[in-house]
Amino acid sequence: MITAGIDMGSKYVKVVILKDGTVLSKAMAATGFEPAEAAAACFKRAVQDSGIDRSSIEHITSTGAGRKAAPNINSDITDVGAAAKGVTHLLEGVRTVIDVGAEEGRGIKIEANGKVVDFAVNEKCAAGAGAFAEAMARALEVSLDEFGKLSLKSEKTIPMNAQCAVFAESEVVSLVHAKTPKHDIARAVHDAIASRIVSMVRRVGINKEVALVGGVSYNCGFVDSLGRALETEVKIPENPEYVGALGAALAAGERIK
Amino acid sequence: MVENKQEFWRWKEYNWHDESLDPKGAEIISAGVDVGSVSSQAVVMVDGKLYAFSNMRTGSDSPDSARKAMSWALENTDLKLEDIHYTVGTGYGRVNVPFADRAITEIACHARGGNMMYGPTVRTILDMGGQDCKAIHCDEKGKVTNFLMNDKCAAGTGRGMEVFADLLAVPIEEVGELSLDVDEEPPPVSSTCVVFAKSEASSLLRDGWSKKRVLAAYCSAMAHRIVSLLDRIGVEKDFAITGGIAKNSGVVARLEKELGLIALKSNYDTQIAGALGAALFARALIEKQRKKVSQ
């Protein structure tokens, strides 16, 4: 049985082609201004890489913020449902999934079989999402990758007064003027995002194991801050940015049966 | 190569003084300094009349901004800092006004200043500042009876408008007028967060929207956001708007329409409400002090 999942994220489109629980291929492309076209191109690439014929894909399920805009799909699943399914497939014993993307954050409470019990979402405010770290890295004129690594060099906690990403930018500028080292500023920013996310996840409860998925999982500075804020270890699956697409492909399989 | 980028958000700084007033021999010369997160104002009053003021951007150093605002207000006047009998500091940086005799919250100062600017009938003052937005209820004496504020989120503040002016390359003073120059009112920008609203605006421009239409959509979103803040505290007549956004006709017109209320107009500069209130407090405080001494 071959299925496909398309995750239409706000920043990137991800595609996973799945055969009997094994990933045949995956592809990613910037969403840009034409999400449907980006998804079609990304899907084509994934099919080519998988070596299978397009017609052998039995069911395609989309997820993500723009899931209704995905081309040629058979069904769709919410971000929350897809993340829960994807994580359960990859890691054992997870009860809390934290999904942080470019423009949203989610806390999901799940059962052992991956069933969603409760969830909390922030998609209104950049302060609890990847966009915040991106904007601050830009303000400090370092790459996002470097920004994460810088954060690990710091051992100092500087509380940020501003909650809002726009106000935080002025605060970062004043910190720079006050000759605060870049790595301390980086940690302050990651701590701020982590604290916003943890207070959101607390609303559904935090139970071990805790898994982190979504593109922001690649930011080692954020992962460090999140671990400290949660006071527990955070598990990150391989290819965390593809978890949503994988979950969608798994859901597609269930829908055939 | 040096990139010469125009900063569209930069509003003009200015100072003013009343040449017809002679401060020499005045009984009470009082001053108020409002050090806000984005702008700072200094107001000098002579026997209860507005004599001079300045309005400028706050720098990274609060004491320095306070000093600059004050010396600029006094520029070309017959007064020096030593001539001022009493000074009250207010605003976000109020404790950092080095020459102030006292600090008073900006909420109290706005109500007091609004009372003078708009008259004793004003009951609700909406102060739309650079990094916060306050709805203040006050009595006929300009005393605060209740208030509500948002200082956590840039949506609905001057900073949000600055971000948009920069994005669309429109000088901030022109945003209001341009936003009203549309044939038909577009739906408001749907994102609350300024960061997300920025991406939304970029895609609207890509969809072929004119700058004016995007500005109209943003001014309307801002008005809507403010109305939901006002709804939580209620609007009692008369209603007045102070702060920098009060100068944005695009936001004000949409706000008035949504509220079904017309805001009072004033001959005073809407950005000096806090500093004016501080100067009024300063005057009352020195009067009290003198009475005590003479008793």
Q: Could you report the per-residue pLDDT of A84-99, keeping only the tens digit for each?
A: 999 999 999 999 999 9
Verify whether the Cβ–Cβ distance A173 to B203 is below 8 Å.
Answer: no
Q: Which domains does chain B have, with CATH numbers?
A: 14-114+271-294 (3.30.420.40), 120-263 (3.30.420.40)
Of A166, A173, A174, the CB nearest to B194: A166
Residue B181, pLDDT above cutoff 90: yes
The C-alpha angle A52, A253, A101, rounded to 5 degrees, equals 90
Residue A32 with chain B: CB contacts under 8 Å: none
**Beta-strand pair B239-242/B124-128:** parallel
**B47 CA to chain A: closest CA distance, Å?**
39
The residue in chain B having the minimum alpha-carbon distance to the alpha carbon of residue A164 is B153
Question: pLDDT digits over B249-284, tens only?
Answer: 999 999 999 999 999 999 999 999 999 999 999 999
Q: Identify the pLDDT of residue B10.
A: 83
Q: Is A135 on the interface with B (CB under 8 A)?
A: yes
**Are B152 and A163 an interchain contact pair (Cβ–Cβ within 8 Å)?**
yes
Q: Cβ(A165)–Cβ(B193) under 8 Å?
A: yes
ipTM of the complex: 0.83
Identify the weakest region by mean pLDDT among A6-20, A169-183, B212-226: A169-183
Nearest CA in chain A to B191: A124
Closest residue, chain B, to A133 (C-alpha): B195
Cα separations (Å) of B143 from B115, B138, B273, B281? Answer: 9, 5, 14, 11
The H or E element containing residue B14 is strand B14-17
CATH numbers and ranges of domains, chain A: 1-91+242-257 (3.30.420.40), 92-236 (3.30.420.40)
Tell me whether residues A166 and B60 touch, CB distance under 8 A: no
- H helical segments located in A165-219: 165-177, 182-202
Structure confidence at residue B1 (pLDDT): 40
Smallest Cβ–Cβ distance between A167 and the set B60, B154, B196 belongs to B154
Which helix or strand (DSSP H or E) is residue A50 part of?
Answer: helix A35-50
The single residue listed with the structure tokens 């859901």 is A251
DSSP per-residue string spanning B187-231 = PPP---SHHHHHHHHHHHHHTT--HHHHHHHHHHHHHHHHHHHHH
Q: Do A165 and B193 touch (CB under 8 A)?
A: yes
Residues of B in contact with A37 (CB under 8 A): none
From B153, which residue of chain A is nearest by alpha-carbon distance?
A: A164
Category of A51 on φ-ψ map: left (φ > 0), alpha (ψ -120 to 50) or beta? left
Which helix (H) or strand (E) covers residue B29, if one does?
strand B29-35
Does the distance separating the beta carbons of B193 and A167 come in below 8 Å?
no
pTM of the model: 0.84
